[in-house]
Amino acid sequence: MGMGMQIISSCTQAQKSCLEVRGSGRKLALVPTMGFLHAGHESLMHWARKHSDLLVVSLFVNPAQFGPGEDLARYPRDLERDVQKAGKAGVDILFTPEAEDLYPPGYATWVEVEGLSSALCGRFRPGHFRGVATIVCKMFNLLCPHLAVFGQKDWQQLVIIRRMARDLNIPVQVVGRPTLREQDGLAMSSRNAYLSPEERKAASHVFQGLKQIREEFLAGKTGREELENLLREYYRENLPLAAVEYVRIVDAQTLEPTDPVRPGSLAVAALKLGKARLIDNILLQEGVIS
């Protein structure tokens, strides 16, 4: 567009603008975020920018995907910095809706992706993926993007959203992009802000463990339980500060445990480290590690 970034908080106005763009034949890309933008988000925006005519980024900390006792209230926020980063990334519309506008009194509708939502993180965060599927469905309907871009760190989320969009016949292409990492391998995440310096240092082992499992697989080990046990042991030794929620090797599409482990299977882990819940994953195959 080259006309500067618009900041829109009204759902009605955002939908009107996006329907006009879609109607005019221009290609619209969406990067949905919860704000507190980091280089991971920026890489999604840059990719989206390159593959579209108009880039919409949503900033919304969605209450519906937080369980009781989770970090909704203290989720990090910095609107001013987000606006700057979005502006620099060439965002055309920054959509900053209010919860009361998205979930008005009498709100009653939920989108559930069965099966996929109860695996892995779903076991530890009941209702989480229902909240995710619902808000993303709403965003797709509001902003009618041709393509929507998500990070692969939240692999389960990506698979669920792709399934949801396909199942509900939403005319959007759901794109997953590689995880961006800090120099020591830690996956970028807004929640890394919760880590103390000591925890932050130790956190690099989340990914180091996954990389080691990948090496073991590429060297010939294909027993799922054996590989999972190796990863658990790695975390016990190198991340004694953390409580492992799960480590699992699954089919990258169905998220079901794979036995034996195959090229393209996904190793996933979730750990609690101090106030942060960290998740990460790695594809068990030759090639670039993202």
Q: In 14-25, which positions are buried (b, 16+ CB within 10 angstroms) versus exposed (e)?
A: bbebbeebbeee
Q: Which of 170, 191, 222 is nearest to 72 (CA)?
A: 191
**Which parts of this chain interact with a copy of itself (CB under 8 A)?**
11, 15, 19, 22-23, 25, 102, 106-116, 133-134, 137-138, 141-142, 144, 163-164, 167-171
The minimum distance between CB 163 and a copy of itself, in angstroms, equals: 6
Taking CA atoms, 22 is separated from 26, 44, 52, 132, 217, in Å, by 6, 21, 11, 24, 46
The CA-based angle 37-177-154, given to 5 degrees, is 70
Site of tokens 């996006």: 18
* Active-site entry in 38, 41, 128, 205: 41
Does residue 41 have an active-site annotation?
A: yes
The smaller minimum CB distance to a copy of itself, of residues 94 and 137, is found at: 137
The smaller minimum CB distance to a copy of itself, of residues 22 and 262, is found at: 22
The smaller minimum CB distance to a copy of itself, of residues 113 and 283, is found at: 113
The minimum distance between CB 27 and a copy of itself, in angstroms, equals: 12
Taking CA atoms, 58 is separated from 5, 62, 110, 253, in Å, by 13, 11, 20, 26
The minimum distance between CB 140 and a copy of itself, in angstroms, equals: 9
Directed axis angle between helix 39-50 and helix 79-88, to 10°? 40
The minimum distance between CB 48 and a copy of itself, in angstroms, equals: 21
| Residues identified as active-site | 41
